[in-house]
């Protein structure tokens, strides 16, 4: 009996089905060894030797595998084909106390779980690739050193419970810097002037935009005020419109490359609304069930067999006219695409439906369409531009653009999503001839403002990280999950915003540990890890080069950094009842609280209480209505007093015995007004996730009414961003 070890039971079940009776397949349930949880586990004085331990959850599994391995003719380590998979196989060998020289222990790799791929893997079994193991080990050691050495500094200088990471801190910096670009952005007013026109005997309108006046180009920001726009409008009264020039040219649109990890995450976010973590979880299930190839890859290559199968499908399904003479080739973006041998693709192109789970099926459908479309012919368009003269007292030139599809090509099956849709609508133009008179319908003058850069979505954040060389296919999803879970960023309307603590930590790291959050430094470190995987560098010198300067810098900064440089205490009008000093608002482990400014000599503190409002009421989420002065109810769990506190998302009621009792109630302030939009809900005070107050309908999300101003005070309604 031959024994095969994989990571998951689902993968084991699929592989056992293909390998037959002579093979038994067991799952390791992921990693079986790792660094200890409660200490750093790395000897920095002895070549950064890691102290690996068998994980408590894996001890029973290791014992079962060891027992099965004792009676096996051959033992095949069939973990994933990337660095982490190689490292899991290496850890398994050590946990099972096996030797490299043992002829019955072999490593097999495959990028798809199919009968032919598995048979090929067994035929060409090899030993452990120690270059890949060392690259993964270097990443693990570097991340442990940064996390375990830098996090305690954050606990002392900012607040307890924080963490820093080599890649996660850089991702947070991207979000923080984008937010500050948005805050500092000053909108600039400009006006767009256009004319709706048609042929003389036709009612089908097309729109042309002003681009020239009296031989001088009119650029986007040239018309800066309503007065300027109205002057141009007056100059166009009774103008005659005619075609000045017509230009036609062909345009080719090429299909997108097959999916790699990053592009799959981006497209699943755009088209399906999936998070990076959700996408990778679903892709993992599809891979383990044998439906797609390995999902952690930065290679756009397709195997010869896959291309042959795709071309046959295109010819049968769509016809020869959609089949290019030569298979399109795509260039892999990364310098060293060694994480897998192929792009992410279906293993059997004849299967369009593979799962009863709707989310799995949607993701599979996306992969299926993208892969086949990548091998189809280009789409062809005819682009037509018409320069239109408007002659009155002055001479004006307008430009109209139209696009007509000549051949749909790959678009018949699939088109790539866009991160940020624009308002530009490009339709078709009628056949126009030079000198032809046109019918004027309407002049449009529209006020616009320049817009700040948009906040990152998951798709655009992954795209930005990839473009900077930060992280690798296996790290994007866990990095994004980590920065959300740690409270450094929040997703609001599917876009990232930094939290207050995220900005504080970023400012500290940028000022005092610039190398840790430097984009180029982080990218170079990824290149070093790639070099280790390729056998060009050794892992210990790479870690040594990073750690020794970092260790010295850390010791200096631990003494040098003053918490007050980053945490600004807000002085209140209250005084301490015990010593008479002013009360300040401080940042603690569980958020903001009120404390004596004489801390630590005076230990007085209390929860952050909201200011009393005489005209408003508090609505308790169970439906009970009370005035603020009546908020002295008892906790339903322990009988303690419920007090008002201030959290990340605004005010709430909490038991005074926190953290022993964690009873809470949500509250909101109401104006007593009906919602002006739906006339059913009430207008209540709400807060953005960053704590900014606005007024919205109590029936949200059914009613999306929102205003920065209290409508009860008859202020102008403006919707918050």
294 is catalytic: yes
- Mean pLDDT value of segment 575-591: 78
324 SS3 class = coil
Task: Give the whole-angstrom CA distance, residue 518 versus residue 514.
Answer: 6
More reliable by pLDDT, 644 or 36: 36
pLDDT the model gives residue 653: 72
Helix or strand holding residue 584 (H, E): strand 582-588
- Mean pLDDT value of segment 337-352: 81
Q: What percent of the chain has pLDDT over 90?
A: 62
pLDDT the model gives residue 335: 55
pLDDT the model gives residue 605: 82
pLDDT the model gives residue 618: 36
487 SS3 class = coil
pLDDT the model gives residue 162: 82
Q: Does the pLDDT of residue 362 top 70, yes or no?
A: yes
Task: Give the whole-angstrom CA distance, residue 171 versus residue 166.
Answer: 9
Least confident of 155-164, 210-219, 620-629, 691-700: 620-629
pLDDT the model gives residue 693: 65
Q: Does the pLDDT of residue 588 top 70, yes or no?
A: no
Task: Give the whole-angstrom CA distance, residue 38 versus residue 15.
Answer: 37
564 — pLDDT class (breaks 50, 70, 90) = confident
- Mean pLDDT value of segment 424-451: 89
Residues whose CB is less than 8 angstroms from the CB of residue 101 and which lie 6 or more positions away in sequence, other chains included: none
Q: Which two tokens stand for residue 201?
A: 């005997």
Task: Give the whole-angstrom CA distance, residue 28 versus residue 93.
Answer: 12
Q: Does the pLDDT of residue 192 top 60, yes or no?
A: yes
Alpha helix stretches (DSSP H) within 486-585 = 500-512, 519-533, 539-560
Q: What percent of the chain has pLDDT over 70?
A: 87
pLDDT the model gives residue 207: 95
Residue for token pair 């900014």: 692
- Mean pLDDT value of segment 504-513: 92
End-to-end CA distance of the chain: 64
pLDDT the model gives residue 27: 94
Q: Which two tokens stand for residue 411?
A: 């678009």
654 SS3 class = strand
Task: Give the whole-angstrom CA distance, residue 470 versus residue 488.
Answer: 18
Task: Give the whole-angstrom CA distance, residue 304 versus residue 295.
Answer: 19
Angle formed by the axes of helices 9-19 and 115-123, nearest 10°: 80
Q: How far is CA 273 from CA 278, 420, 457, in A?
A: 10, 14, 11
Task: Give the whole-angstrom CA distance, residue 443 versus residue 195.
Answer: 5
Helix or strand holding residue 54 (H, E): strand 53-54
- Mean pLDDT value of segment 548-558: 92
- The C-alpha R_g of the chain, in whole angstroms, comes to 32
More reliable by pLDDT, 675 or 578: 578
Q: What are 380-399's pLDDT values in tens digits?
A: 999 999 999 999 888 999 99
More reliable by pLDDT, 597 or 74: 74
Return left, alpha or beta for 672; rule: phi > 0 is left, psi -120 to 50 is alpha, else beta: left
- Mean pLDDT value of segment 564-588: 80
pLDDT the model gives residue 351: 94
Residues whose CB is less than 8 angstroms from the CB of residue 604 and which lie 6 or more positions away in sequence, other chains included: 576, 577, 578, 579, 595, 596
- CA neighbor of 433 nearest in space, from 594, 248, 289: 248
195 class by beta-carbon count within 10 Å (0-12 exposed, 13-18 middle, 19+ buried): buried
pLDDT the model gives residue 72: 93
623 — pLDDT class (breaks 50, 70, 90) = very low
Cβ(560)–Cβ(576) below 8 Å: no
Q: What are 56-110's pLDDT values in tens digits?
A: 999 999 999 999 999 999 999 999 999 999 999 999 999 999 998 899 999 999 9
- Mean pLDDT value of segment 491-502: 90
Task: Give the whole-angstrom CA distance, residue 390 versus residue 241.
Answer: 5
Q: Does the pLDDT of residue 214 top 60, yes or no?
A: yes
Domains of the chain: 2-128 (3.40.50.140), 150-184+455-562 (1.10.460.10), 189-254+379-449 (2.70.20.10), 263-373 (1.10.290.10), 570-607 (no CATH), 617-713 (no CATH)
Q: Does the pLDDT of residue 319 top 50, yes or no?
A: yes
Number of helices (H) and strands (E) in the chain: give both, helices first: 16, 29
Q: What are 658-667's pLDDT values in tens digits?
A: 667 777 765 5
710 — pLDDT class (breaks 50, 70, 90) = low
Catalytic hit among 294, 414, 488, 547? 294
Q: What are 124-178's pLDDT values in tens digits?
A: 999 999 999 999 999 999 999 998 999 889 888 887 778 888 899 999 999 999 9
589 — pLDDT class (breaks 50, 70, 90) = low
- Mean pLDDT value of segment 545-551: 93
- CA neighbor of 373 nearest in space, from 325, 322, 298: 322
Cβ(273)–Cβ(363) below 8 Å: no
B/e letters for 218-232, b = 16+ CB within 10 Å, e = fewer, are beeeebeeeeebeeb
């Amino acid at each position: 009996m031959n024994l095969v070890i994989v990571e998951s039971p689902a993968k084991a079940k699929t592989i056992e089905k293909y390998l037959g009776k002579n093979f038994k397949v067991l799952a390791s349930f992921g990693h079986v060894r790792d660094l200890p949880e409660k200490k750093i586990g790395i000897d920095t004085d002895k070549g950064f030797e890691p102290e690996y331990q068998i994980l408590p959850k894996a001890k029973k599994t290791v014992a079962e595998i060891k027992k099965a391995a004792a009676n096996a003719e051959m033992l095949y380590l069939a973990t994933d084909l990337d660095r982490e998979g190689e490292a899991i196989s290496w850890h398994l060998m050590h946990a099972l106390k096996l030797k490299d020289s043992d002829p019955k222990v072999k490593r097999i790799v495959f990028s798809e779980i199919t009968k032919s791929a598995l048979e090929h893997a067994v035929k060409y079994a090899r030993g452990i690739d120690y270059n890949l193991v060392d690259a993964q080990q270097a990443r693990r050691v570097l991340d442990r050193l940064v996390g375990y050495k830098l996090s305690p500094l954050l606990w002392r200088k900012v607040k307890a419970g924080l963490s820093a990471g080599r890649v996660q801190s850089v991702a947070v910096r991207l979000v923080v810097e984008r937010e500050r670009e948005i805050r500092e952005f000053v909108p600039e007013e400009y006006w767009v002037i256009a004319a709706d026109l048609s042929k003389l005997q036709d009612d089908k309108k097309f729109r042309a935009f002003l681009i020239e006046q009296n031989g001088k180009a009119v650029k986007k920001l040239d018309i800066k005020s309503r007065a300027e726009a109205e002057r141009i409008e007056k100059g166009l009264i009774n103008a005659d419109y005619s075609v000045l020039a017509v230009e036609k040219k062909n345009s080719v649109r090429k299909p997108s490359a097959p999916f790699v990890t990053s592009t799959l995450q981006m497209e699943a976010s755009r088209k399906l609304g999936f998070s990076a973590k959700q996408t990778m979880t679903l892709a993992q299930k599809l891979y383990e069930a044998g439906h797609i190839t390995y999902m952690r890859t930065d290679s756009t290559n397709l195997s010869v067999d896959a291309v042959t199968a795709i071309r046959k499908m295109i010819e049968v399904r769509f016809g020869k006219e959609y089949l290019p003479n030569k298979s399109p080739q795509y260039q892999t973006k990364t310098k060293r695409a060694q994480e897998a041998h192929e792009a992410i693709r279906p293993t059997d192109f004849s299967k369009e439906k593979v799962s009863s789970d709707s989310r799995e099926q949607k993701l599979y459908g996306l992969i299926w369409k993208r892969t086949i479309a990548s091998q189809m012919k280009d789409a062809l368009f005819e682009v037509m531009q018409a320069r239109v003269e408007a002659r009155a007292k002055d001479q004006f030139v307008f430009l109209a653009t139209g696009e007509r599809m000549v051949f749909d090509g790959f678009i018949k099956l699939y088109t790539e999503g866009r991160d940020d849709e624009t308002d530009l609508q490009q339709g078709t133009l009628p056949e126009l001839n030079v000198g032809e008179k046109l019918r004027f319908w309407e002049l449009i003058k529209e006020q616009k403002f320049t817009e700040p850069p948009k906040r990152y979505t998951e798709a655009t954040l992954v795209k930005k990280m990839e473009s900077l060389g930060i992280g690798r296919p296996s790290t994007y999803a866990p990095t994004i999950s980590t920065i959300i879970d740690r409270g450094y960023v929040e997703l609001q309307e599917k876009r990232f915003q930094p939290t207050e603590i995220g900005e504080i930590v970023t400012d500290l790291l940028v000022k005092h540990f610039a190398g840790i959050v430097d984009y180029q430094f982080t990218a170079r470190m990824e290149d070093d890890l790639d070099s280790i995987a390729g056998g060009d560098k050794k892992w210990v010198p790479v870690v040594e080069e990073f750690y020794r300067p970092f260790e010295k810098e850390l010791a200096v900064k631990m003494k040098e950094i003053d918490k007050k440089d980053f945490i600004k205490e807000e002085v209140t009008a209250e005084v301490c009842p015990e010593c008479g000093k002013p009360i300040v608002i401080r940042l603690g482990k569980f958020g903001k609280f009120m404390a004596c400014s004489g801390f630590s000599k005076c230990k007085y503190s209390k929860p952050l209480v909201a200011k009393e409002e005489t005209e408003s009421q508090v609505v308790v989420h169970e439906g009970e209505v009370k005035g603020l002065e009546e908020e002295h109810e008892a906790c339903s769990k322990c009988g303690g007093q419920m007090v008002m506190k201030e959290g990340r998302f605004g005010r709430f009621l909490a038991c005074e015995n926190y953290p022993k009792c964690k009873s809470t109630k949500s509250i909101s302030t109401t104006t007593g007004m009906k919602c002006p939009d739906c006339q059913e809900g009430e207008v209540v005070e709400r807060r953005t996730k960053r704590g900014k107050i606005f007024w919205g309908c109590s029936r949200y999300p059914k009613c999306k009414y929102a205003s920065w101003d209290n409508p009860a005070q008859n202020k102008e309604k403006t919707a918050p961003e």
